[in-house]
Amino acid sequence: MATSVFPLSGSTVSVGANTSSSTTAARPLPASLAWAWPLAGPQSGGPPRVIHAFNPPAKPWLSGHRGVDLLRTSGASIRAPTDGVVTFAGMVVDRPVLTIATADGLRLSFEPVVSTLVAGSTVAKGSQLGTLTAPTHCDSGPPGLSSCLHWGVRRGDVYLNPLQFILDLRPSVLLPVVR
């Protein structure tokens, strides 16, 4: 039986010729880029409770909640969720605010947080930013019991949900716990 051998060299093989490069669908962050929580939860190592969810206004001039509130009594250590540079540490109206910027253009703000850091300080993921102080905008009962860290993230003028950057989120954490 004769066997024909066709050499493949020199042939152009087109596999799945799809020139579309529109890969705009959301993809999960690689672990190396995921952020950490800025504070510890009630059980050490566990996630903190989110008591007020991200609820951006439909229009910039309307009221809303441009961040998340994490339940914690004052005095808690606040840690950097990711690497960055301090761009602001001081009072905004009546509350102390700390802001850090990331290399990829995000700005993270934390309040009310007192800090010894100054603008220009570099911070590494997990390093201490400062201490949660009082009053917070969650206080509704006895001082401290319902205190929270307000954490905001924005790119330019657009506020983003900080929780989307945290890798270990479980669905239960996303549910706002009301009272």
> Nearest approach, Cβ of 132 to Zn ion (angstroms)?
13
Structure tokens at 155: 């790119």
> Nearest approach, Cβ of 91 to Zn ion (angstroms)?
17
Residues with Cβ within 8 Å of residue 166, at least 6 apart in sequence: 34, 35, 36, 37, 81
Whether residue 71 contacts residue 138, with contact meaning beta carbons closer than 8 Å, is answered with: yes
> Nearest approach, Cβ of 52 to Zn ion (angstroms)?
5
> Nearest approach, Cβ of 66 to Zn ion (angstroms)?
8
> Nearest approach, Cβ of 98 to Zn ion (angstroms)?
15
Q: Residue 109's beta-bridge partner residues?
A: 99, 152
The nearer residue to Zn ion, 69 or 80, going by C-beta atoms, is 69
Q: Residue 101's beta-bridge partner residues?
A: 85, 107
Sheet (strand 113-114) strand order: 77-79, 128-132, 113-114
The nearer residue to Zn ion, 85 or 88, going by C-beta atoms, is 88
The nearer residue to Zn ion, 71 or 80, going by C-beta atoms, is 71
> Nearest approach, Cβ of 120 to Zn ion (angstroms)?
27
What is the contact surface with Zn ion in residues (CB under 5 A)?
A: 69, 150
The nearer residue to Zn ion, 71 or 100, going by C-beta atoms, is 71
Cα–Cα distance, 148 to 51 (Å, whole number): 8
The nearer residue to Zn ion, 79 or 150, going by C-beta atoms, is 150
Q: Which residue is nearest to Zn ion (CB)?
A: 150
CA-based nearest residue to 134, from 73, 179, 80, 52: 73
Class of residue 43 by CB neighbours under 10 A (exposed 0-12, middle 13-18, buried 19+):
exposed
